[in-house]
Amino acid sequence: MQVFEELESEVRSYCRSWPTVFEGGSGSWMWDEDGNRYLDFFAGAGALNYGHTHPVLKRALLDYIEGDGVIHSLDMSTTAKAEMLRTFDDVVLQPRGLDYKVQFPGPTGTNAVEAALKLARKVKGREQILSFTNAFHGMTLGALSVTGNSFKRNGAGVPLAHTSAFPFCNYLEEGSSIDLLQALLGDSGSGLDRPAAVIVETVQGEGGVNVASFTWLKRLAELCTDHDMLLIVDDIQMGVGRTGPFFSFEPAGIQPDIVTLSKSIGGYGLPMALTLLKPELDVWEPGEHNGTFRGNNASFVTATASFREFWSDDTLATSVAEHGDLVHSTLVDLASSHLEAGADTRGRGLVQGLVFEDPSITKAVCREAFDNGLLLETSGPDSEVVKLMPPLTISTEELQQGLDILTRSVDTVLAKHRAGVAK
Binding site for ligand PLP (CB under 6 A): 45, 108-110, 113, 136-138, 201, 205-206, 234, 236-237, 262
Point out the residue whose Cβ comes nearest to ligand PLP. Answer: 109
Residue 179 DSSP class: H
Could you tell me if 137 and 146 are in contact, meaning their C-beta atoms sit under 8 angstroms apart? Answer: yes
Q: Are strands 258-261 and 197-200 parallel, antiparallel or unpaired?
A: unpaired
Please work out, in degrees rounded to the nearest 5, the angle formed at the alpha carbon of residue 134 by the alpha carbons of 133 and 135: 90
Give whichever of 64 and 168 is closer to ligand PLP, judged by the CB atom. 168
Residue 412 DSSP class: H
Number of CB atoms found within 10 A of residue 373's CB: 15
**Sheet with 163-166, edge to edge strand ranges:** 101-103, 274-277, 258-261, 230-234, 197-200, 129-132, 163-166
Give whichever of 31 and 293 is closer to ligand PLP, judged by the CB atom. 293
Question: Among 388, 384, 354, which Cα is nearest to 374's?
Answer: 388
Q: What is the distance between the alpha carbons of residues 44 and 271, in angstroms, rounded to a whole number?
A: 12
Residue 99 beta carbon to ligand PLP: minimum distance, rounded to whole angstroms: 23
Give whichever of 263 and 338 is closer to ligand PLP, judged by the CB atom. 263
Q: Which residues contact 63 (CB under 8 A, 6 or more apart)?
A: none
Burial 172-202 (b: 16+ CB within 10 A, else e): eeeeebbeebbebbeeeeeebeebbbbbbbb
Residue 77 beta carbon to ligand PLP: minimum distance, rounded to whole angstroms: 25
Give whichever of 108 and 177 is closer to ligand PLP, judged by the CB atom. 108
Residue 153 beta carbon to ligand PLP: minimum distance, rounded to whole angstroms: 14
Residue 101 beta carbon to ligand PLP: minimum distance, rounded to whole angstroms: 20
Residue 414 beta carbon to ligand PLP: minimum distance, rounded to whole angstroms: 29
Give whichever of 303 and 413 is closer to ligand PLP, judged by the CB atom. 303
Give whichever of 20 and 140 is closer to ligand PLP, judged by the CB atom. 140
Give whichever of 25 and 239 is closer to ligand PLP, judged by the CB atom. 239
Q: Which residues contact 225 (CB under 8 A, 6 or more apart)?
A: none
Residue 52 beta carbon to ligand PLP: minimum distance, rounded to whole angstroms: 18
Residue 407 beta carbon to ligand PLP: minimum distance, rounded to whole angstroms: 27
Residue 60 beta carbon to ligand PLP: minimum distance, rounded to whole angstroms: 23
Could you tell me if 274 and 299 are in contact, meaning their C-beta atoms sit under 8 angstroms apart? Answer: no
Give whichever of 147 and 330 is closer to ligand PLP, judged by the CB atom. 147
Q: Which residues contact 297 (CB under 8 A, 6 or more apart)?
A: 64, 69, 70, 71, 72, 73, 78, 80, 81
